[in-house]
Structure 1
Amino acid sequence: MKNGILTIGFSLLFIFCSKDDEIKNSVIDSSANEIYFPKINADVWETKAVSELNWNEDKLTPLFNFLEEKNTKSFIILHRGKIVIEKYFDHHTSSSLWYWASAGKTLTSTLAGIAQDESFINIDQKVSNYLGENWTSISLAKENLITCKNLLSMTSGLDDSLGENISPQNLKYVADANERWAYHNVYAKMQDVIANAAKTDFTTYFNDKLKNKIGMNGVWRNIGDLNVYWSNSRSMARFGLLIAAKGKWEDTQIVSENFITEATSTSQNINKSYGYLWWLNGKESYHLPQSQNEFMGQLIPNAPKDMFCALGKNDQKIYIVPSKDLVIVRMGEAANDDNFALSSFNNDLWIRINALID
Structure 2
Amino acid sequence: MINKTRLFLLLFLILTNITFAQENSIKEFTSNREGTSLVSPHIQVVPIKDTTTERNYELYIELPEDYSENNNKTYPVLYYTDAMWHLEILSGATEYMLEDVILVGISWQKDINENLKKEIGVHVSRFRDYSFRKSNKPEIQEKYQLGQADKHLDFIRNDVIKYVENTYRTDPNSRTYFGYSMSGEFGAYILLTQPDTFNNYILGSPSIKNEVQYLTELNTKFGPYKASDKSSSLNANVFISYGSLEEEMEPIEEFVSLLKNRRDDGLSVLREVIDGTHQTAFPMTVVRSVAWLSSLMSHVSSNNNEISFWEIPQLNNAYISTTPEDIKDGIPIGKLGVDGGNKEMILKLAQEIADNKHDPFDSFLIAHKGKLIFESYYNKGRINLPHFQASATKAYTCLAIGRAIQLGYLSMEDLNKPLVSFLKDLDPTKFVKGVEKITLHQAMTMRSGIRISKKQSEEIEKNPNQLKGQGQVQAYLEHSAPITATSQSFKYQFDPVLAMQVLDAVVPGSAKDFIKNELLDKMGITNYDWKTDISGLPRSGSGTSMTSRNMVKWGILTANKGKYNGEQLVPEAFINKATYKILYTGDDDIYGGGKDVSNQGYGYYWWSADLKSGKKSYFSRSAQGGGGQYIILIEELDLVIVVTSHENDNSTLQIIAERILPAFIKNIK
TM-score tier by shorter-chain length is: 0.7 to 0.9
State which of 422, 428, 432 in structure 2 corresponds to 1:130.
422
Please say if 1:267 is aligned against 2:582: yes
Rounded to whole Å, the distance in 2 between the matches of 1:174 and 1:57 is 56
Match of 1:247 in 2: 562
What's the offset of the Cα at 1:72?
A: 1.2
For 2:565 and 2:376, the matched residues in 1 are separated by: 26
Corresponding residue number in structure 1 for 2:647: 334
Aligned pair partner of 1:90 in 379, 384, 400: 379
Structure 1 residue identity aligned to 2:608: L
SS at match of 2:434: helix
CA shift at 1:46, angstroms? Answer: 3.6
Higher mean displacement: 190-199 or 77-86: 190-199
Q: 2:618 and 2:428 mapped to 1: Cα distance?
A: 38
In structure 1, C-alpha distance between the alignment counterparts of 2:659 and 2:629, rounded to whole Å: 17
Are the counterparts in 2 of residues 315 and 331 from structure 1 also a CA contact under 8 Å?
A: yes
Question: What is aligned with 1:72?
Answer: 361
8 Å Cα contact 2:584/2:602 also seen in 1: no
Conserved 8 A contact 1:136-1:168: no
Which 10-residue stretch deviates more, 116-125 or 235-244? 116-125
1:219 maps onto 2:561 in alignment:
no
Amino acid at match of 2:582: S
Aligned partner of 1:157 among 416, 434, 449: 449
How many angstroms apart in 2 are the aligned matches of 1:44 and 1:254?
A: 16
Q: Which residue is equivalent to 1:188? A: 497
Contact 2:366 2:641 in 1 (8 A): yes
Q: Which residue of 2 aligns with 1:12?
A: none
Match of 1:306 in 2: 619
Change (3 A) 1:54 1:149: closer
The equivalent residue for 1:48 is: 334
Please, what is the CA RMSD of the aligned residues? 3.1
- TM-score under structure 1 length normalisation: 0.73
CA-to-aligned-CA distance 1:108-149 (integer Å, 9 cap, x gap): 11111121233323222211122243589752x411111111
Give the partner amino acid of 1:235. Answer: N
Cross-structure match for 1:18 = none
Distance between the aligned counterparts of 1:179 and 1:222, measured in 2? 28
Q: CA deviation at 1:352?
A: 1.9
Corresponding residue number in structure 2 for 1:146? 438
What aligned pairs does 1:18-29 form with structure 2 within 5 A after superposition?
Answer: none
* 3-state SS, counterpart of residue 200 of structure 1: coil
Change (3 A) 1:335 1:64: farther
Structure 1 residues 357 and 136: CA distance shift in structure 2, 3 A:
farther
Higher relative contact order (CA 8 A, sep 6+): 1
Q: How does 1:310-325 map to 2 (within 5 A)?
A: 310-325=623-638
Percent of counterpart pairs with the same letter?
Answer: 23
Query: What secondary structure, in the 3-state scheme, does the structure 1 residue paired with 2:618 have?
Result: coil
Other-structure match for 1:339? none
Contact 2:452 2:476 in 1 (8 A): no
- Among residues 192, 195, 203, which one is paired with 2:512 in the alignment? 203
Give the CA deviation at 1:313. Answer: 0.7
Q: State whether structure 2 residue 472 is matched by structure 1 residue 176.
A: no
- Give the residue type in structure 2 aligned to 1:241: I
1:120 alignment counterpart: 409
Q: What are the superposed Cα offsets for residues 46-66 of structure 1, whole Å, 9 maximum, x if unpaired?
A: 432222256332223331134
Q: 1:159 to 1:65 in 2, by over 3 A?
A: farther
Deviation at 1:266, TM superposition (A): 2.8
For 1:349 and 1:270, how far apart are their aligned partners in 2? Answer: 21
Which amino acid is 1:244 matched to? A
Q: Provide the rounded CA distance (Å) in 2 between the counterparts of 1:190 and 1:126.
A: 12
- Mapped contact 2:362–2:645 kept (Cα < 8 A): yes
In structure 2, C-alpha distance between the alignment counterparts of 1:160 and 1:42, rounded to whole Å: 47
Contact 2:622 2:632 in 1 (8 A): yes
Distance in 1 separating the partners of 2:523 and 2:330: 14
1:232 is aligned to 547
| 1:137–1:169 Cα contact (<8 Å) kept | no
Deviation, 1:76, is 0.9
Separation in 1 of the partners of 2:363 and 2:427? Answer: 43
Change (3 A) 1:47 1:270: closer
Contact 2:444 2:495 in 1 (8 A): no
Does the C-alpha gap of structure 1 residues 268 and 83 become closer, same or farther in structure 2, counting only changes over 3 Å?
closer
Question: Structure 2 CA distance, aligned partners of 1:116 and 1:46?
Answer: 28
1:47 aligns to what SS in structure 2?
coil
Q: Report if the CA contact (8 A) 2:637-2:664 is conserved.
A: no
Unaligned runs of 5+ in 2: 1-324, 462-471, 587-599
Q: Is residue 136–residue 170 contact of structure 1 (8 Å, CA) maintained in 2?
A: no
3-state SS of the aligned residue for 2:514?
helix
Deviates more, 1:129-138 or 1:321-330: 129-138
Gap runs ≥5 in structure 1: 1-37, 283-299, 337-342
Cα gap change, 1:129 to 1:167, in 2 (>3 Å): closer
Q: Given the superposition, is the C-alpha separation of residues 268 and 54 from structure 1 closer, same or farther in structure 2, using an over 3 Å criterion?
A: closer
Q: Is 1:116–1:123's contact at 8 Å kept on the other side of the alignment?
A: no
Evaluate the alpha carbon distance shift between residue 205 and residue 261 of structure 1 in structure 2; reply closer, same or farther with a 3 A threshold.
same
Q: CA–CA distance in 2 between the matches of 1:315 and 1:135? A: 40
Give me the whole-angstrom Cα distance separating, in 2, the residues matched to 1:328 and 1:199: 34
Quote the Cα distance in structure 2 between the aligned partners of 1:136 and 1:57: 63
Which structure has the bigger radius of gyration? 2
Please state whether the residue corresponding to 1:94 is helix, strand or coil: coil
Equivalent pairs counted in the alignment come to 296
Q: Compared with structure 1, are the counterparts of its residues 161 and 60 closer, same or farther at alpha carbon in structure 2 (3 Å cutoff)?
A: farther
